[in-house]
Chains A and B, each alone.
Chain A
Amino acid sequence: MLDVLALMFFISLAAGFIGALSGLGGGVVLIPLYVSILGLPLRYAAGASLIATIATSGGSSLSYIRRGVSNIRIAMSLSSTTTSGALIGSITATKVYNLGLERWLYITFGVVLILSVFLLVKRGLKKRPVDKWTKWLRLCGRYFDEAEGREVSYCGARWGLAALVMFSAGFLSGLLGIGGGALNVLALDWGLGLPPKVSTTTSNLMIGITAATSAAVYWHAGYIQPFFAGVTALGVLTGSYLGTKALSVLKAAVVRYIFLALTSILGIEMILRGVYAA
């Protein structure tokens, strides 16, 4: 049986590595790899992915908080809607599995995967003028950008709109067992108008909180196999650490597009699996 766990460790390590390079996070790549290579039922792959998401969120946030890039206030304020979405998403997932409608989850997963790739390709900084939300929730912050060698100040706006997008991100996280990082980043980039580094690192902190909400439901539903999830967490944690290190050595843009293409293929594979499911 150890060979199964060893294979799992290497797949999750690869998923964590790809996730870190593409900026999509480990879970979104991990689930289709587990389903395709190991033949693991979607519910167990999703359960393992949620635990891996919490682990990678903790690991990466540790370094980002230390460097002062993550914005804890923004993360906490928007987690109120992602966790609400996750509650509904995770309970919906249990109903879908109980009704034997799993094929629709495969199709939804594939569509979300391809949409995530599209959103990340299109992402960019759009500064927003300050509004009532900025003042009420004090959404301004600053961090030291090591690459640019200067302090960057920013202010978030349109919190209400971002909160709506975040609710959807939380719902999908609970439904599919992913972190929902791509939608989080969309809300923070496009909605609040935060600098990309702040969006990515704040999203990293949030996906752990969101995944924990869904994980509790998955645990009670029996979708989390302790050994699968444990080994997956260790693998993704190691892979994302190596991926982050490799990112500074490799030509980021080229590598990113290769892996985004790979992610798109996995998305199409999941859709086909759902369409042709018996």
Chain B
Amino acid sequence: MQLEKSIEYILAASIILSTVLITSSIVITAGSPPLNVNTTNLTPTEIIYGLERLQSVDFAAAGIMALVATPIATTAVSLLYFIRDRDYAYIILSAIVFTNLLVSIFILPHFI
């Protein structure tokens, strides 16, 4: 499969998934959405637990996480394609992008 086609599938899946999750969160709130949520301590594990219990805020958070995960997935897939093609310049460049995305999630928060 071509790189373009793979990215197309990832983008389509992400848009559909996030739209469904965010719309569900609004329906579940039934008129009283919590508007002051501190995301600092909201972890993926808690969000998954909240989805099981139909917590509206976790649906909204999951929709946002699905969106944020999209560029990470497209970058990872691009990196794999460049590795397959032994395209060394692009392996380095896409590895930098992938590393930056991971640094923003796992390392930078410690410096806030």
Contacts and interface: CB of A to CB of B under 8 A. Distances in A.
Contact of A216 (B14, B89, B108): B108
A77 B75 contact: no
A55 B64 CA distance: 9
Contacts of A225: 35-37, 39
Given A51-B64, A76-B93, A227 B33 contact: yes
A225 B18 CA distance: 15
Give the residue among B25, B33, B37 with the most A Cβ atoms within 10 A: B33
A227 B108 CA distance: 24
Contact of B8 (A65, A73, A222): A65
Given A5-B26, A227-B35, A62 B8 contact: yes
Interface in B56-90: 57, 60-61, 63-64, 67-68, 70-72, 74-75, 78, 89-90
A6 B45 CA distance: 30
A121 interface: no
A230 interface: yes
A221 to B, nearest CB: 5
A76 B12 contact: no
B4 A226 contact: no
Contacts, number: 173
Interface string A66-106: 10100011001101100110110011001000000000000
28 contacts: A5-B26, A54-B71, A57-B71, A58-B67, A61-B7, A72-B4, A76-B97, A77-B89, A80-B97, A83-B96, A87-B100, A90-B104, A91-B108, A137-B90, A208-B70, A209-B97, A213-B100, A215-B68, A220-B39, A220-B40, A221-B109, A222-B39, A224-B39, A227-B29, A227-B34, A227-B37, A230-B64, A233-B22
Given A1-B32, A2-B29, A72-B78, 17 more contacts: A1-B33, A65-B4, A76-B94, A77-B90, A83-B96, A83-B97, A87-B104, A91-B108, A212-B68, A219-B39, A219-B64, A221-B40, A226-B25, A228-B35, A230-B25, A233-B22, A233-B63
Q: Which 6 A-B pairs have the closest CB atoms?
A: A220-B109, A226-B60, A83-B100, A230-B22, A80-B96, A212-B71
